[in-house]
Amino acid sequence: MIKGGVPVEIKRLPHGGGLAMPAYATDGAAGMDVVSAEGLSLRPGGRHAVATGFALAIPEGYEIQVRPRSGLALKHGITVPNTPGTIDSDYRGELKIILVNLGDEPFRIERGDRIAQLVLAPVVQAEWHEVAELSETERGARGFGSTGGHARLV
C-alpha cells in the first residue's frame, strides 16, 4: 500500500453537518469506512441509495470503489448490489451508497452508522486499436472451465 496519501477533495453538504468523514479504521486498512447521513429501515429484499452527506473531487487517473462491509454482509445480509460501485473522477454529486437487504429481517440504519467502505484505486483508460486478426495464443478461444473446471489439484 502506498503511504502518504493521495489528496482527494471532499465537500461537506448541508445535511452532512456533524458526520464523521470517511476514515481508515486501522493503519493498514484498504478501505475508508463511510457513514450514513440518514436513518432508514431496509425491508428484506429492499434497496436504497443511502445519502452520505459528502461530495468528492477525485483526481484524474483515480476512481473510488464502494465495497460492502463483511460484518454487515455476514450478520445481516446487508450488501452493495453494484459492488464495487464506481465513483468517477468527474462526478461532483453526492456520494451515495446503494444497499440491499438480502437477509430475512428488516434492518435499521441510523445516521452515523458505518455502512460501506471506499477504496481509492488507480485507473488506466484504454484506447482501442481495431485489427482484422488478433495475436495468437495457445489458449485461443477456449475458456469457461476448459482447463478442467473445479477438479482438485492435490
36 is known to lie in a ligand binding site: no
Between the CA of residue 82 and those of 48, 55, 110, 128, 154, what are the distances in Å?
A: 12, 19, 22, 26, 35
Rule CB under 6 A: choose which of 37, 51, 95, 115 binds ligand DUT.
Answer: 95
Task: At 107, list the grid cell.
Answer: 434492518
Task: Give the C-alpha separation, 50 to 39, whole Å.
Answer: 9
69 is known to lie in a ligand binding site: yes
**Secondary structure, 3-state, 37-69:** CCCEEECCCCEEEEEEEEEEECCCCEEEEEECC
Rule CB under 6 A: choose which of 98, 111, 112, 113 binds ligand DUT.
Answer: 98
Examine residue 82 and tell whether it contacts ligand DUT (CB under 6 A).
Answer: yes
Task: Give the C-alpha separation, 40 to 112, whole Å.
Answer: 12
* Count of residues touching ligand DUT (by CB under 6 A): 10
Q: In terms of CB distance, is 51 or 107 closer to ligand DUT?
A: 51
Rule CB under 6 A: choose which of 85, 101, 114, 120 binds ligand DUT.
Answer: 85
Instruction: Enumerate binding residues for ligand DUT (CB under 6 A).
Output: 66, 82, 85-88, 91, 95-96, 98
Residue numbering of the annotated binding site for substrate: 69-71, 82, 86-88
